[in-house]
Amino acid sequence: SQARLKRVSIRMAALLVLVVAFVLALTPGSKRDVWTAFAPHDFAERLGQEAMLVDFTADWCPNCKFLEQTTLTDANVHAWQEEYGVTPIQVDLTEPFPQAEALLESLGSQSIPLLAVFPKGDQALRPLVLRDMVTSSQVEQVLETLE
Protein backbone atom coordinates (compact mmCIF):
# COMPACT_ATOMS: atom_id res chain seq x y z
CA SER A 1 0.00 0.00 0.00
CA GLN A 2 3.10 2.24 0.12
CA ALA A 3 4.31 4.33 -2.79
CA ARG A 4 6.59 2.51 -5.22
CA LEU A 5 9.59 4.74 -4.40
CA LYS A 6 9.20 4.09 -0.67
CA ARG A 7 8.98 0.29 -1.19
CA VAL A 8 12.10 0.30 -3.36
CA SER A 9 13.97 2.48 -0.83
CA ILE A 10 13.11 0.14 2.04
CA ARG A 11 14.21 -2.90 0.03
CA MET A 12 17.48 -1.24 -0.95
CA ALA A 13 18.19 -0.26 2.67
CA ALA A 14 17.48 -3.82 3.84
CA LEU A 15 19.75 -5.21 1.10
CA LEU A 16 22.52 -2.80 2.09
CA VAL A 17 22.27 -3.87 5.76
CA LEU A 18 22.49 -7.55 4.73
CA VAL A 19 25.50 -6.95 2.49
CA VAL A 20 27.36 -5.00 5.18
CA ALA A 21 26.59 -7.68 7.80
CA PHE A 22 27.77 -10.42 5.43
CA VAL A 23 31.01 -8.62 4.61
CA LEU A 24 31.74 -7.97 8.28
CA ALA A 25 31.03 -11.58 9.19
CA LEU A 26 33.35 -12.94 6.53
CA THR A 27 36.18 -10.45 6.96
CA PRO A 28 39.14 -12.37 8.34
CA GLY A 29 39.86 -11.26 11.85
CA SER A 30 43.24 -9.89 12.68
CA LYS A 31 45.24 -11.86 15.19
CA ARG A 32 44.49 -9.93 18.30
CA ASP A 33 47.18 -9.25 20.88
CA VAL A 34 44.99 -10.31 23.79
CA TRP A 35 44.85 -13.96 22.60
CA THR A 36 47.63 -16.55 22.72
CA ALA A 37 47.66 -18.83 19.70
CA PHE A 38 47.01 -22.50 20.49
CA ALA A 39 50.10 -24.70 20.46
CA PRO A 40 49.62 -28.29 21.68
CA HIS A 41 52.84 -28.44 23.74
CA ASP A 42 52.22 -25.03 25.33
CA PHE A 43 48.61 -25.97 26.11
CA ALA A 44 49.72 -29.22 27.78
CA GLU A 45 52.21 -27.32 29.95
CA ARG A 46 49.58 -24.76 31.03
CA LEU A 47 46.86 -27.36 31.73
CA GLY A 48 46.25 -27.44 35.47
CA GLN A 49 48.87 -24.77 36.13
CA GLU A 50 46.68 -21.84 35.16
CA ALA A 51 43.05 -21.16 34.26
CA MET A 52 42.46 -20.90 30.51
CA LEU A 53 39.68 -19.49 28.35
CA VAL A 54 39.96 -21.38 25.06
CA ASP A 55 38.15 -20.08 21.98
CA PHE A 56 37.72 -22.38 18.97
CA THR A 57 37.26 -20.24 15.85
CA ALA A 58 37.90 -20.05 12.11
CA ASP A 59 37.95 -17.29 9.52
CA TRP A 60 35.29 -19.12 7.48
CA CYS A 61 32.86 -19.25 10.46
CA PRO A 62 30.42 -16.28 10.42
CA ASN A 63 29.09 -17.12 13.90
CA CYS A 64 32.66 -17.07 15.24
CA LYS A 65 33.28 -13.65 13.70
CA PHE A 66 30.02 -12.33 15.16
CA LEU A 67 31.01 -13.69 18.58
CA GLU A 68 34.40 -11.95 18.32
CA GLN A 69 32.69 -8.63 17.59
CA THR A 70 30.09 -8.90 20.35
CA THR A 71 31.13 -11.15 23.25
CA LEU A 72 34.82 -11.86 22.76
CA THR A 73 35.92 -8.28 22.25
CA ASP A 74 39.45 -7.33 23.23
CA ALA A 75 38.04 -5.20 26.06
CA ASN A 76 35.97 -8.08 27.49
CA VAL A 77 38.78 -10.61 27.22
CA HIS A 78 41.27 -8.23 28.82
CA ALA A 79 38.83 -7.53 31.67
CA TRP A 80 38.36 -11.29 32.23
CA GLN A 81 42.13 -11.73 32.30
CA GLU A 82 42.42 -9.10 35.00
CA GLU A 83 39.40 -10.12 37.08
CA TYR A 84 39.54 -13.93 36.84
CA GLY A 85 43.19 -14.55 36.00
CA VAL A 86 42.44 -16.59 32.88
CA THR A 87 44.83 -17.01 29.99
CA PRO A 88 42.95 -16.52 26.71
CA ILE A 89 43.96 -19.07 24.08
CA GLN A 90 42.58 -19.01 20.56
CA VAL A 91 42.39 -22.22 18.54
CA ASP A 92 42.28 -21.29 14.85
CA LEU A 93 40.62 -24.00 12.76
CA THR A 94 40.72 -22.03 9.50
CA GLU A 95 43.16 -24.60 8.13
CA PRO A 96 43.26 -28.30 9.07
CA PHE A 97 44.91 -28.72 12.49
CA PRO A 98 44.66 -32.34 13.72
CA GLN A 99 45.70 -31.70 17.34
CA ALA A 100 43.24 -28.81 17.68
CA GLU A 101 40.47 -30.85 16.08
CA ALA A 102 41.22 -33.69 18.51
CA LEU A 103 40.91 -31.28 21.45
CA LEU A 104 37.58 -30.02 20.09
CA GLU A 105 36.31 -33.59 19.77
CA SER A 106 37.52 -34.42 23.30
CA LEU A 107 35.19 -31.64 24.48
CA GLY A 108 32.28 -33.46 22.89
CA SER A 109 31.94 -31.24 19.84
CA GLN A 110 32.67 -31.17 16.16
CA SER A 111 31.31 -27.70 15.51
CA ILE A 112 32.34 -24.15 16.30
CA PRO A 113 32.11 -21.63 17.84
CA LEU A 114 32.96 -23.20 21.16
CA LEU A 115 34.45 -21.76 24.33
CA ALA A 116 36.03 -23.95 26.98
CA VAL A 117 37.11 -22.78 30.42
CA PHE A 118 39.83 -24.99 31.88
CA PRO A 119 40.13 -24.38 35.64
CA LYS A 120 43.43 -24.34 37.45
CA GLY A 121 44.35 -27.38 39.53
CA ASP A 122 42.69 -30.76 39.80
CA GLN A 123 39.55 -29.67 37.91
CA ALA A 124 41.54 -28.91 34.73
CA LEU A 125 40.48 -32.19 33.14
CA ARG A 126 36.81 -31.19 33.56
CA PRO A 127 36.52 -27.98 31.53
CA LEU A 128 33.31 -25.98 31.40
CA VAL A 129 32.08 -25.80 27.81
CA LEU A 130 29.95 -23.10 26.17
CA ARG A 131 28.66 -23.96 22.71
CA ASP A 132 27.46 -21.76 19.87
CA MET A 133 26.45 -18.16 20.49
CA VAL A 134 27.04 -16.97 24.04
CA THR A 135 26.75 -13.64 25.80
CA SER A 136 29.27 -11.84 27.96
CA SER A 137 27.17 -12.53 31.04
CA GLN A 138 27.13 -16.27 30.29
CA VAL A 139 30.92 -16.28 30.00
CA GLU A 140 31.23 -14.31 33.24
CA GLN A 141 28.92 -16.76 35.07
CA VAL A 142 31.23 -19.60 34.08
CA LEU A 143 34.36 -17.64 34.99
CA GLU A 144 32.92 -16.85 38.42
CA THR A 145 32.94 -20.57 39.20
CA LEU A 146 36.76 -20.45 39.01
CA GLU A 147 36.99 -18.43 42.22
23-55: pLDDT as tens digits: 666 655 544 579 999 999 999 999 999 999 999
Q: Higher pLDDT residue, 23 or 64? A: 64
Supply φ then ψ for residue 35, to 5 degrees: -95, 145
Q: Give the model's pLDDT for residue 15.
A: 86
For the chain, give the percent of residues with pLDDT over 90: 70
Q: What pLDDT, in 10s, does the model give residues 103-132? A: 999 999 989 999 999 999 988 889 999 998
Residue 16 has φ and ψ, to the nearest 5°, of: -60, -45
Radius of gyration of the chain measured on its C-alpha atoms? 18
Bridge partner list, 47: 50
Q: pTM value?
A: 0.76
Report how far residue 25's alpha carbon sits from residue 36's, in angstroms, rounded to the nearest whole number.
22
Whether the bond into 119 is cis, omega within 30 of 0: no
Phi, psi of 56 (to 5 degrees): -95, 125
